[in-house]
Amino acid sequence: MSNDEIRVFNVADQRELLKIKIAENQTQSALCNCVEFTSDGKSLVTGWTDGKIRAFTPQSGKLLYAI
């Protein structure tokens, strides 16, 4: 993980499945502190050092919401 991005890997074959990059206008070098899939698997919820919580779709990485 680097500044402003998250990567999801398949641990069985070490293949990258998804790369989510936060738009530069949404953050100033924020780091992701935590990641959790919702129990229904419909979103990936993340917490960032800029104080925002962002949720993404696990298939495409599309931003669902930021609070």
Which has the closest alpha carbon to 5: 32, 39, 27, 24?
Answer: 32
Which has the closest alpha carbon to 44: 55, 52, 33, 34?
Answer: 55
Three-state secondary-structure class, residue 32? strand
Question: What is the pLDDT, as a whole number, of residue 67?
Answer: 96
Question: What is the pLDDT, as a whole number, of residue 26?
Answer: 55
Question: What is the pLDDT, as a whole number, of residue 30?
Answer: 85
CA-to-CA distance for 17 and 10, rounded, in angstroms? Answer: 6
Tell me how far the alpha carbon of residue 54 is from its chain's centroid: 7
Report pTM.
0.82
Q: What is the pLDDT along the chain (67 residues), one digit of tens a residue?
A: 457 899 999 999 999 999 998 876 555 678 899 999 999 999 999 999 989 999 999 999 999 999 9
Question: What is the pLDDT, as a whole number, of residue 51?
Answer: 92
